[in-house]
Chain A
Amino acid sequence: MRTIHTDQIIKTVRQMCIDANLHLSEDVKGAICGSIETEKSPLGCQILRQLEENMEIAVSEDIPICQDTGMAVVFLKIGQDLHIEGMNLEDAVNEGIRQGYVDGYLRKSVVRDPLQRENTKDNTPGIIHYEIVPGEQLTITVAPKGFGSENMSRVFMLKPADGIEGVKDAILTAVKDAGPNACPPMVVGVGIGGDFEKCAIMAKQALTRNIIERSEIPYVKEMEEELLKKINSLGIGPGGLGGTTTALAVNINTYPTHIAGLPVAINICCHVDRHVTEVI
């Protein structure tokens, strides 16, 4: 049994919140810059070049890539042979978020109550997902999620008879409806199967996948590739102002489901698909 202290978790989460908001991962950066070569709309190209410049300014001047520095979504994979000492784990993660958002000059975008709407002024609490896994390590993924694109996300409880075509239609519908609101080019995270909440969590997890790597399941890989092509022929383009770069990737995760159901969740992310992972 290995022991770690929550002080280490606080420090790690703090830094991850700051890093995620200043630097995009190489795969996302590469996809945005690469699309300048293929985009057919001159205005679309101009916008993509501005997004490239925006990423450079963010890094060189310590300014967040986007002012919506998101609600901090945190995935914890906790090794079952790991012992965590110190404070309550949830409090530790929230303390890391608090320090990261305050010390990192990140925007405080969380309200304490969904209807009374008083800002908590430190961006806590985060959305924390726990998973117990084999081993004695703690894997932390921090994915600050902006709400322009979050608001355009959807869950469809399809019927088994709707089949693969029904799933594809649902994804295309969500992307079409999102259009310019979701700050395209977007990354489309999809969860198929499970139940109502499982498919939604899978869709969020799909957004934390490397966007260059395709699913290991052959038919899912095909579906990811086909949907990316179809989405990029919708005409929405960068900023929704017309063009051929509407999405950078479609990442689909799947899970077993019930004989009566075919749940599909589409979690849309803008081009600022922020996610960092650290192993303690």
Chain B
Amino acid sequence: MDKNITTPITEDISKDLHAGDYVYISGTIYVARDAAHKRLMEVLDHGEELPIDMKDSTIYYMGPSPAREGQVIGSAGPTTASRMDKYAPRLLDLGSKAMIGKGKRSPEVIDAIIRNKAVYFAAIGGAGALISKCIKKSEIVCYEDLGAEAIRKLEVENFPVIVVIDSEGNNLYETAILEYQNM
């Protein structure tokens, strides 16, 4: 089913999304990948305040290529989400409601998704040029020294993603494969 949603993704929105839905996201989302997550964990470990508000936030696992003059951003497709599995439950428990990436998630992340009524979306891996066209604004929020791994705030319009794991823990990666096996 095709759906259009606007961030912030509240529980009302996330509960209405089901594995297999094709969703166009508009609004503000944050970008963070490996090194940024590591720093966020260090901030939490020190009992300090995070540089971004986690409540109902959407985190896109991505590290863009540099923008040329006149471009908002360079190529901007998803990176493998499982590398963030170690960190994701903690951010979900702090109120983050959605993650965008690609690839499988750990049982701990899936539990945290169910516990927090969150959602995991897959964007199309390797379609970075296409996805860059949905990004209307991009600014670095913090950790600029990390280069492509800095935390960014994006304004997106109709960013195409697919619900892979929904708030009930249904997992499209597992069900879709069975449907097309041995065809």
Chain A contacts to B: CB under 8 angstroms: 40-41, 43-44, 46-47, 50-51, 53-55, 57-58, 61-69, 105-109, 117, 119, 121, 146, 148, 151, 179-181, 183, 233-237, 239-244, 270-272
Given contacts A57-B133, A62-B68, A67-B64, A244 and B125 within 8 Å (CB-CB): no
A180 adjacent to B102 (CB under 8 Å): yes
Q: How far is the CB of A38 from chain B (nearest CB, A)?
A: 11
Secondary structure of the A contact surface, majority rule: loop
Given contacts A51-B126, A233-B183, A69 and B65 within 8 Å (CB-CB): yes
Binds A, one of B49-57, B74-82, B106-114: B74-82
Q: Can you show 28 pairs from A to B with CB atoms below 8 A apart?
A: A50-B127, A51-B126, A57-B130, A58-B75, A61-B71, A63-B68, A63-B75, A65-B129, A66-B77, A66-B126, A66-B129, A67-B148, A68-B128, A69-B65, A69-B75, A105-B66, A107-B65, A107-B75, A108-B148, A109-B63, A119-B147, A148-B102, A180-B102, A183-B125, A236-B177, A237-B177, A242-B172, A242-B176
B65 adjacent to A234 (CB under 8 Å): no
Q: How far is the CB of B22 from chain A (nearest CB, A)?
A: 7
17 other contacts beyond A41-B180, A44-B180, A180-B173, with CB at 8 A cut-off? A47-B124, A50-B127, A51-B126, A54-B128, A62-B68, A66-B126, A68-B63, A68-B79, A107-B148, A119-B146, A148-B102, A234-B177, A234-B181, A235-B179, A235-B182, A239-B102, A239-B124
Q: Which chain B residues numbered 95 to 136 have a C-beta less than 8 Å away from chain A?
A: 102-104, 122, 124-130, 132-133
User: Which residues from chain B contact A63 at a C-beta distance below 8 Å?
Assistant: 65, 68, 71, 74-75, 128-129, 132
